[in-house]
């Protein structure tokens, strides 16, 4: 299991560094298809990983910051907290099959976008 | 109001699907008339609140697997450092096309997985 996680982490990190692709689009499918995690477990574990990577990104970003409007960032953050709470609650309540289909649609859309840009 | 709605929408998708915020916030901020760098900075910042709240909810419902998580984290950090260093050497555009196609195939596999 550790070997598989090592491979998933390296590939996800490598591709996100190289192509600027978010890690979750790689780690979630890899955990579901290769490690037999349930869709929810794969998403929860990926989010945990994202939190750490997000903090690292945030800290390194703050060294060469773009001037951002504090008011806009605050409103977005409030919205984001609220939205993330609702979204993750919905993810716990809906059945796995529907969640999987939503996820597949998202990945398909993201794939087309990456291909076109 | 528009920023609050944008914030809610981005957070919602991120929490629902367990994915990063960049794919949502970057196009949203560009649509609202901000520049690419500004949009990317916003997306980078929003990962923290989105994943913080989501991880609490997923954890409460027992959907976070901690086994080997630090191996995953370390591998991801090292991988990303290597990836960003090689970005100037490797044919990134070709790789993006290949990866885009792979993602559509992965979507099909997830859709059809029992």
- Asked if B21 has any chain A CB less than 8 Å from its own CB, the reply is yes
> Mean pLDDT over residues B4-11, rounded?
93
| Cα nearest neighbour of B49 on chain A | A81
Summarised one tens digit per residue, pLDDT across range A28-85 is 999 999 999 999 999 999 999 999 888 887 777 666 667 888 899 999 999 999 999 9
Interchain contact, B15 vs A76, CB within 8 Å: no
Distance, CA of A53 to CA of B3 (rounded, Å): 25
pLDDT bin (cut points 50, 70, 90) of residue A17 is confident
pLDDT bin (cut points 50, 70, 90) of residue B20 is confident
Interchain contact, B4 vs A79, CB within 8 Å: yes
Portion 26-65 of B in contact with A at CB < 8 A: 37-38, 41-42, 44-55, 57-59, 61, 63-65
Q: Record the pTM.
A: 0.90
pLDDT bin (cut points 50, 70, 90) of residue B41 is confident
Contacts 24+ apart (CB under 8 A), A28-31: A28/A103, A28/B17, A28/B18, A28/B19, A29/A107, A29/B106, A29/B109, A29/B110
| Cα nearest neighbour of A60 on chain B | B44
Distance, CA of A66 to CA of A8 (rounded, Å): 32
Using an 8 Å CB-CB cutoff, list chain A residues near B13. 83, 87, 106
- Asked if A113 has any chain B CB less than 8 Å from its own CB, the reply is yes
**For chain A, what is the HEC assignment?**
CHHHHHHHHHHHHHHHHHHCCCCHHHHHHHHHHHCCCCHHHHHHHHHHHHHHHHHHHHHHHHHHCCCCCHHHHHHHHHHHHHHHHHHHHHHHHCCHHHHHHHHHHHHHHHHHHHHHC
Interchain contact, A53 vs B77, CB within 8 Å: yes
User: How many separate domains does chain A show?
Assistant: 1
| Sequence spans of domains, chain B | 1-64, 66-114
What is the domain range of residue A43? 2-116
Q: Exposed, middle or buried by CB within 10 Å (0-12, 13-18, 19+), for A107?
A: buried
Interchain contact, A6 vs B72, CB within 8 Å: yes
């Amino acid at each position: 299991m550790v070997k598989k996680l090592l491979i998933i982490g390296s590939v996800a990190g490598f591709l996100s560094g190289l192509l600027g692709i978010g890690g979750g689009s790689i780690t979630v499918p890899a955990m579901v298809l290769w490690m037999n995690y349930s869709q929810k477990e794969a998403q929860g574990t990926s989010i945990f990983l994202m939190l750490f990577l997000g903090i690292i990104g945030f800290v390194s970003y703050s060294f060469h910051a773009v001037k951002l409007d504090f008011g806009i960032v605050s409103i977005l953050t409030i919205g984001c907290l609220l939205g993330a709470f609702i979204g993750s609650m919905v993810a716990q309540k809906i059945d796995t099959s529907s969640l999987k289909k939503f996820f597949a649609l998202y990945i398909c859309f993201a794939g087309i976008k990456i291909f076109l840009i | 109001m528009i920023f609050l709605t944008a914030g809610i929408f981005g957070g919602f998708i991120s929490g629902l699907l367990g994915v990063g915020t960049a794919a949502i916030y970057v196009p949203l901020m560009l649509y609202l008339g901000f520049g690419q760098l500004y949009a990317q900075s916003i997306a980078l910042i929003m990962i923290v609140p989105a994943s913080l709240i989501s991880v609490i909810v997923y954890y409460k419902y027992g959907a976070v697997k901690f086994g080997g998580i630090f191996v995953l984290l370390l591998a991801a950090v090292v991988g990303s450092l290597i990836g960003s260093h090689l970005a100037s050497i490797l044919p990134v555009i070709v790789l993006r096309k290949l990866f885009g196609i792979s993602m559509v195939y992965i979507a099909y596999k997830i859709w059809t997985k029992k």
